[in-house]
Structure 1
């Protein structure tokens, strides 16, 4: 392992995260943020979104770890988990998440997923409900509501479904933009207010992006996940049925200025699932846990305390 690899693997250490690796038909990188003494409640597993990593959670994970055992994993094909021949579809990653809970943590867990990570968590509950004691869904991937799509986002996701064109588009962007420019473009899309971008998280994201620029197959891994996400969303009735069938406590968090998953979709989903708790955040974008961590924690911590002991 090179010095650069050691440095990248320790990116979360400044937020009290300890880097770990599990073998689940290939390496899976995960970060342990610790647990309070004597805690025997269900651990919390943080699941990132499309193109994300464990770094998507560093602004709330240390505070959550004061109350429960908290871990964040990199799904295969993202962060520091290579795909290593594994599929990166949302359904494949739901199965892998189940294996992580069973084989690494060893007991049912609370899942908190952002965007695609929320979808992966929902699919796991549909497959293996006994592994999950509660769901926190942060700007969950949802079917678009007609008339509320961001035109640029809609065009880019439509492009992802065209094999040759999407691959050349991603490759061209990698050559055109530096790692810092790529990270800034992503955060500008995901934040409603750019001034809320944390400089330390920004620097860590750049270091990870620089590392991933040398990893083979990252574009194919990304597109495999993106296309599978779109397939689930186009089968909206089946996905909606999965959401309605959840028999666990659910907290739906959504930024009202989300450009990727418009607030109208979250509002419609909340109306269709009236037993869920909700937290809607005005003036916030697609990653509330990074943009307004204090507001998220203010609601998330008591919600977690209300979930029965695992």
Structure 2
């Protein structure tokens, strides 16, 4: 393994040190960066956190340290995101499920509580369904879900339509990168994902801006982002296999969903919750697509209460 704090690694550096995170890199057909919190020997079940489309290990810094007081916590950067360059690897949903499975078996080495946001929630469900021995329980934070009665916000629908269109998606990302500063790129994501952007932590904004600057200086990751987004939309367009994976889950599941999520409407979460009555579901009022960043205390309260009720840690 390579430690990005010591130099010479593909990742180069770690951006979560301010929150007590320690970064490392493993080779899974290319570098995969992750950040660890807490004592590796603490707790009966580690928690592994998986970010969404365009995200990174920084998506979890407002909840990971508190959870690490109870158990080992690891946050992973999927290939093409954060500090894990895609290289020659595929970055679609099946490829990232395979990378996550190898991470769980080669780095953690035992069952985990898998916690996924957005695309990371989808990847986590596929992993838990295909390999139930690696996942003892699931926490889904505004996971990517098939549309229900209510379609996504028009801005979101238009944006993903551009991503899906060959050449148009590539030009859109290139144009956005050229015309915006690193801070503006981060603030655009916050405006999209938060119900109230004023809730954003300045420390997280600064770290995310530094990460955006670092990524801008690396070979373009646009192709990896577009491949992941197009794969995600293909799953949504033909969701039968995804819905089957959900129904196959036998592990305890906690679904947390903001009722002001513009990317995944809360109607979709309510529909999935109704179809899977064994799940524990909490709708968070006045919260957007990334509750763990926007309302971390509420997320921690629900997660820790659920963990205690099921005797997981």
Moved more, 18-27 or 8-17: 8-17
Map of 1:172-183 to 2, 5 A cutoff? 172-183=175-186
TM score, norm. by length of structure 1: 0.95
Counterpart for residue 169 of structure 2: 166
Query: How many angstroms apart in 2 are the aligned matches of 1:201 and 1:89?
Result: 27
Query: How many angstroms apart in 2 are the aligned matches of 1:3 and 1:236?
Result: 43
Query: How many angstroms apart in 1 are the aligned matches of 2:18 and 2:30?
Result: 27
Q: Check if 1:184 corresponds to 2:181.
A: no
Q: Cα 1:2–1:101, aligned 2, differ >3 Å: closer, same or farther?
A: closer
1:208 to 200, 211, 217: 211
Counterpart for residue 281 of structure 1: 284
Counterpart for residue 128 of structure 2: 125
Map of 1:93-242 to 2, 5 A cutoff? 93-242=96-245
Residue 240 (structure 1) shift: 1.1
Q: Is the 8 A contact 1:8 1:208 kept in 2?
A: no
Q: Check if 1:63 corresponds to 2:66.
A: yes
Residue 303 (structure 1) shift: 1.6
Query: How many angstroms apart in 2 are the aligned matches of 1:200 and 1:51?
Result: 19
Counterpart for residue 30 of structure 1: 34
Equivalent position SS for 1:253: strand
Listed as ranges, the gaps of 5+ residues in structure 1 are none
Q: Number of residue pairs matched?
A: 309
1:295 to 282, 293, 298: 298
1:78-113 Cα deviation digits (max 9, x unpaired) = 000011211111111111111001111111111000
Moved more, 123-132 or 253-262: 123-132
Query: How many angstroms apart in 1 are the aligned matches of 2:6 and 2:245?
Result: 45
Residue 292 (structure 1) shift: 0.4
Q: Cα 1:4–1:163, aligned 2, differ >3 Å: closer, same or farther?
A: farther
Q: Is the 8 A contact 2:46 2:73 kept in 1?
A: yes
Equivalent position SS for 1:95: helix
- Aligned-residue Cα RMSD (Å) equals 2.0
Query: How many angstroms apart in 1 are the aligned matches of 2:71 and 2:6?
Result: 32
Map of 1:241-252 to 2, 5 A cutoff? 241-252=244-255
Equivalent position SS for 1:11: coil
Query: How many angstroms apart in 1 are the aligned matches of 2:139 and 2:312?
Result: 16
Counterpart for residue 15 of structure 1: 19
Q: Cα 1:27–1:307, aligned 2, differ >3 Å: closer, same or farther?
A: farther
Q: Cα 1:2–1:178, aligned 2, differ >3 Å: closer, same or farther?
A: farther
Q: Check if 1:263 corresponds to 2:278.
A: no
Equivalent position SS for 1:278: strand
Q: Cα 1:290–1:2, aligned 2, differ >3 Å: closer, same or farther?
A: closer
Q: Cα 1:101–1:10, aligned 2, differ >3 Å: closer, same or farther?
A: same
Query: How many angstroms apart in 2 are the aligned matches of 1:99 and 1:167?
Result: 30
Query: How many angstroms apart in 2 are the aligned matches of 1:5 and 1:205?
Result: 22
Moved more, 123-132 or 200-209: 123-132
Q: Is the 8 A contact 2:259 2:283 kept in 1?
A: yes
Q: Is the 8 A contact 1:60 1:289 kept in 2?
A: yes
Q: Is the 8 A contact 1:8 1:207 kept in 2?
A: no
Query: How many angstroms apart in 2 are the aligned matches of 1:124 and 1:277?
Result: 19
Residue 144 (structure 1) shift: 1.5
